[in-house]
Amino acid sequence: MAVQIITADDLENFKNEIIEELDELKELMTKIKPDSKKEDIIWLKSHNVQRMLGISPGTLQNLRVNGTIPYSKIGGVIFYNKKEILQVIENHKRNAL
């Protein structure tokens, strides 16, 4: 088994390499960020939407069935986009000032 000795210069070089890599990564992230104008999508499960709207599971099912609330189903789990739920509420506003 060979023994390898690490000197202070080796550590300094390693540190500088890591800093260069981080700088490159930061530069890439700043280039990517302005191009992606998508807002973060927050996915909610049924129980979150029920609490948010103050409705029962049956009412939520009716809103899905009649197409009022958009959803995605993966396996047996139903997901709702929070932004879309808030948009549905905004679109159904009555007596807006």
User: Within a domain: residue 1?
Assistant: no
Residue 48 shares a structural domain with residue 86? yes
**CA distances to 8, 9, 11, 15 from 5, in Å:** 10, 11, 11, 17
pLDDT tens column, 44-93: 999 999 999 999 999 999 999 999 999 999 988 999 999 999 999 988 88
Pairing of strands 72-74, 77-81: antiparallel
Supply the range of the domain harboring residue 78. 43-91
Residues 62, 77 within the same domain: yes
Tell me what pLDDT residue 35 has. Answer: 47
Question: Residue 8: its pLDDT value, please?
Answer: 94
Residues 47 and 31 in one domain: no
Note the pLDDT of residue 92: 84
Bridge partners (DSSP) listed for residue 79: 45, 72
pLDDT digits (tens, 9 = 90+) for 17-30: 999 999 888 888 77
In this structure, the strands spanning 77-81 and 43-45 are antiparallel
